Amino acid sequence: MLHDAGLQALRDAARLSPDNLPLRHHLAGQLLSKGYLAEAEAEYRAALVLAPRNAEITAGLAEAFVRQSAYGAALAALEPLLATPGYPPRLGVLAAQALLAEGDTARAAHRYYEAVSRDPSVGDADLAARLSAPPAPPYPVAAPVPASAPADGAEVDRSGLSFADVAGMEAVKEALRIKLLLPLQQPELFAAFGKRAGGGVLLYGPPGAGKTHLARAAAGELGAAFVNVGLADILDMYIGSSERNLRATFDLARRNRPCVLFFDEVDALAARRSDMRQAHTRQLVNQFLAELDGVDQNANEGVLVLAATNAPWYVDVAFRRPGRFDQPVFVPPPDAAARAAILRILCRDKPLAEMDFDAVARVTDHFVGADLKGVVDRAVEAKLHQSISAGRAIPLSTPDLLAAAQSVRPTAVREWMATARNYVMHANDSGAWDELMPWVKGKW
């Protein structure tokens, strides 16, 4: 960092005139373009204080978030401007990137094409290609069975997945067994040691590494129902009825005990604290915590709360107090053996030739589960075209997967690790990120 004299001069200048908006904006832009993402984020935030609702600055902040995999935070930053008619098209493209990364392809496509129709120069060929890829097929196992739906649209789902459907991650599964499953299966044993079941587990790690998949499998392993809630969705509903939606979601889980209640993107809640509607957000955080703590001792009996985030550093400290999400569990990117196992699981219901999954695992360094799913989907699609032309089913083979792997770009594990390294090295006073230490020291 120090060797970049131009950048250092800019930093010094900005320190001397902290109210100089163009200067700070310029510094933020330079930091972003050079990949100092956390520092760029801080500069953009400071600039936004000087010029609230400035579209260019908001766009820069959102880009810094997206590149750090903090998609919920990016959407939170963009939201006030996206609600304004005629907002700058570039913001729509950024929102599309964040939405797509969160798996919300429909809304991502809507934002993207709306933006490009107004200004074709903001188009992004790579993003467009990913948006037009065929939607991911549903789980290969039984389709989810919707039960009663509360106001926010969350549904009860019994996918039938278990830990056997989660490849690798032995340490993570073991941690979840001890934290979630054993206390419920053998309450006497835990009581004997003075431990109670309860308290939430916070799964964190790079996007697409399998946090949602793991939570769903934990529910199946336990024979529990699964309720999956995107926290950003609840917040986005209607200002003012978010509280009702939260209550309805907790009630849905309580009616379906034993139940795993899964909150994705918990960082979104924290990010909203810094937005305009401070008072309202504060109230929401408080209500969330009140529901989590349970109105009375037994309110959440049989409800296991799991949360996930790509950006644990944005999660409110109030969430990490004892009895809440006091048990962070890192969901790492898969190593070669785990990648081979994930590929085997993803391909198990397809017509297959003899497969060398290890060979595919070797060329997919830095791919996470979601990327591997993309590889398999792409290979299957190509095979389907061939089979249709040939008039018979041609089985999937190793070269098909190798070819598809060439055309799939792995998501941002490297950038995620760079951000994580920043926090581990510079903001780890409490030791919260110790678990990440060996990972961020690795080569990415």
- Note the residues at the interface with ligand ADP (CB under 6 A): 166-169, 207-213, 308, 342, 345, 369-370, 373
What stretches of 34-134 show up as alpha helix (H) in DSSP? 37-50, 55-67, 71-82, 89-101, 105-118, 125-132
* Contact yes or no for 412/67 (Cβ under 8 A): yes
- Closest of 305, 309, 328 to residue 259, by C-alpha: 305
* Contact yes or no for 302/257 (Cβ under 8 A): yes
Closest distance of CB 106 from ligand ADP, Å: 16
* Rg of the chain on CA atoms, in Å: 23
Closest distance of CB 213 from ligand ADP, Å: 3
Q: 416: Cβ–Cβ under 8 A, 6 or more apart, which residues?
A: 68, 69, 205, 206, 207, 310
Q: Which lies closer to ligand ADP via its Cβ, residue 81 or residue 417?
A: 417
Closest distance of CB 330 from ligand ADP, Å: 11
Cα(273)–Cα(267) distance, integer angstroms? 10
Closest distance of CB 226 from ligand ADP, Å: 12
Cα(193)–Cα(77) distance, integer angstroms? 45
- For 167, half-sphere exposure in the C-beta direction (CA atoms, 13 angstrom radius) is 23
- For 375, half-sphere exposure in the C-beta direction (CA atoms, 13 angstrom radius) is 33
Q: Which lies closer to ligand ADP via its Cβ, residue 367 or residue 433?
A: 367
Q: Which lies closer to ligand ADP via its Cβ, residue 209 or residue 413?
A: 209
Q: 133: Cβ–Cβ under 8 A, 6 or more apart, which residues?
A: 374, 377, 378
Closest distance of CB 294 from ligand ADP, Å: 26
Q: Which lies closer to ligand ADP via its Cβ, residue 29 or residue 207?
A: 207
Task: Tokens for 306, please give them.
Answer: 């799991």
Closest distance of CB 234 from ligand ADP, Å: 17
Q: Which lies closer to ligand ADP via its Cβ, residue 180 or residue 197?
A: 180
Q: Which lies closer to ligand ADP via its Cβ, residue 81 or residue 375?
A: 375
Q: Which lies closer to ligand ADP via its Cβ, residue 48 or residue 167?
A: 167
Closest distance of CB 422 from ligand ADP, Å: 20
CB burial of 94-121 (b: ≥16 within 10 Å; e: otherwise) equals bbbbbbbbbebbebbbbbbeebbeeeee
Q: How many CB atoms lie within 10 A of CB 135?
A: 8
Closest distance of CB 380 from ligand ADP, Å: 13
Q: Which lies closer to ligand ADP via its Cβ, residue 43 or residue 102?
A: 102
